[in-house]
Amino acid sequence: MKEKTFNVRTTAREEIVIVTDEVHRALGEIGGGEGICTIVVPHTTCAIAVNENADPDVPADLTKALRALVPNVPFRHGEGNSDAHFLSMLIGCSLTWPYRNGKLILGTWQGIYFVELDGPRTRHVTVYVP
């Protein structure tokens, strides 16, 4: 298995950063070609997803909608970021996606979303290929 890790620096508590270009760069550095890759965020308060890459209002809207999903329950976790752990679990910390010629096979409007839920922080994203 080959892998490449890149960093994402976020600037807000909740933020969606489109990292499609960084994933393509990583795929190129570990050999390009074609297959199925796995993209992992090795963290518990962020997530990775696929959504629209064209209109910047979409990530902004989704960030607001995610916040609205957090239930009004008495969280006990002393770090105070159980809301971020909850949303990370719902969205997920990995994606498996096909690629060809070193590029993800995405729909016209799709891009890879790095979803920060407890920033600002420097995060890691790792792309694995067989």
Tell me which residues touch Zn ion (CB under 5 A).
Answer: 79, 81
What is the nearest approach in angstroms of Zn ion to the Cβ of residue 122? 17
| Angle, CA of 89, 35 and 58, to the nearest 5° | 45
Nearer to Zn ion, 61 or 79 (CB): 79
CB of 126 to Zn ion, least distance (A): 21
How distant, in Å, are the alpha carbons of 8, 14, 67, 126, 127 from that of 32? 21, 32, 37, 15, 12
For the CB of residue 75, give the shortest distance to Zn ion in the complex, in Å: 10
Asked if 116 and 123 count as a contact pair (C-beta separation under 8 A), the reply is yes
Whose tokens are 């959504």? That residue is: 51
Cβ closer to Zn ion: 45 or 53? 45
Q: Which residue is nearest to Zn ion, using beta carbons?
A: 79
